[in-house]
């Protein structure tokens, strides 16, 4: 396959949760492939979202940084509207924004249940609906949902996250069927452990993280860029006949 198959020249992509970790890596990978970006985050006061936008500008691409809480329909509608007004079309949506709550289901609070589902299911649904309607008008588009390897196996204390991400996998399959006739592809990525601030915070101990790596068949935790490369494949013409699928990127743990 030639490099042109992975080109995103002339494309516009929205990436939610774009200020750090996987979202930042995907945004930079797409910009490197020629796409213009709209990136969003619930909080922008720390300047990190704009810092990513500045990195994209240095790559020679346009970027709009927008404050948006994806659990709020008004914020999502504004995000989609601003993207369409700024660039004229929306070709790619990456649903990446998320949170992570650790608690056994029997001890989980109602607020934490609602926060998890509002973010990973309702929020993704709002984005798919708002952007998907514009893609239907265009009769083309590409949606990539970030799920998790925990959607495919239960882990104690991670139950609410696993359930929500399993919902993301099914939503991906349903939307792929519903939108295929409009030439809109919908796929998901299920990462395992990825070296982000969240993983380092949850683990707390660098030595414990190294020990955790020993049970991954490929021998290491993924870097955000390794998830971004799969997103680039799904966003590009290299995957033009792929829809309704979830790609596991977990180093072989579920093999």
The percent of residues above 70 in pLDDT, for the chain, comes to 97
pLDDT of residue 186: 99
Q: Which one of 125, 161, 182, 201 is the catalytic residue?
A: 161
Q: Which domains does the chain have, with CATH numbers?
A: 7-247 (3.40.50.720)
Which residue is associated with the tokens 């309702």?
122
- Name the β-bridge partners of 65: 39
Rounded to whole angstroms, the Cα distance separating 196 from 167 reads 23
Which pLDDT does position 202 carry in this prediction? Answer: 61
124 is catalytic: no
Calculate mean pLDDT across residues 44-56: 95
Instruction: Say if residues 27 and 18 touch (Cβ distance below 8 Å).
Output: yes
Q: How far apart are CA 46 and CA 165, in angstroms?
A: 28
Q: Residues 172-221: pLDDT tens digits?
A: 999 999 999 999 999 999 999 999 887 766 666 777 778 888 889 999 99
Structure-token pair, residue 195? 């070296």
What are the tens digits of pLDDT across the range 62-112?
999 999 999 999 999 999 999 999 999 999 999 999 999 999 999 999 999
Q: How many CB atoms lie within 10 A of CB 156?
A: 8
Q: Give the residue among 243, 241, 240, 247 at the shortest CA–CA distance from 4.
A: 240
Question: In the predicted model, is pLDDT for residue 2 greater than 50?
Answer: no
Residue 123 contacts residue 96 (beta carbons within 8 Å): no
């Amino acid at each position: 396959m030639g490099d042109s198959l992975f080109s995103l020249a002339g494309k516009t992509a929205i990436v939610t949760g774009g200020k750090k970790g996987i979202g930042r890596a995907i945004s930079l990978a797409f910009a490197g492939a020629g796409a213009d970006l709209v990136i969003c985050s619930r909080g922008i006061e720390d300047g990190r979202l704009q810092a990513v936008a500045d990195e994209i500008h240095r790559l020679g691409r346009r970027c709009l940084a927008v404050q948006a809480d994806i659990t709020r329909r008004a914020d999502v509608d504004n995000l989609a509207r601003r993207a369409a007004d700024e660039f004229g079309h929306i070709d790619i949506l990456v649903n990446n924004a998320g949170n992570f709550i650790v608690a056994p289901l029997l001890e989980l609070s109602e607020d934490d249940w609602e926060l998890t589902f509002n973010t990973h299911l309702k929020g993704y649904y709002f984005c798919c609906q708002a952007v998907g309607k514009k893609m239907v008008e265009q009769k083309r588009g590409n949606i990539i949902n970030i799920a998790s390897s925990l959607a495919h196996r239960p882990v104690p204390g991670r139950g609410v996250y696993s359930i929500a991400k399993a919902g993301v996998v099914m939503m991906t399959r349903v939307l792929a069927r519903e939108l295929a006739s409009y030439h809109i592809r919908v796929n998901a990525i299920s990462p395992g452990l990825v070296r982000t601030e969240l993983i380092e915070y949850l683990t707390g101990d660098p030595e414990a993280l190294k020990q955790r790596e020993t049970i991954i068949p490929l021998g290491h935790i993924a870097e955000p860029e390794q998830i971004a490369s799969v997103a680039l494949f799904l966003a590009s013409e290299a995957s033009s006949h792929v829809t309704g699928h979830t790609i596991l990127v977990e180093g072989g743990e579920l093999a």
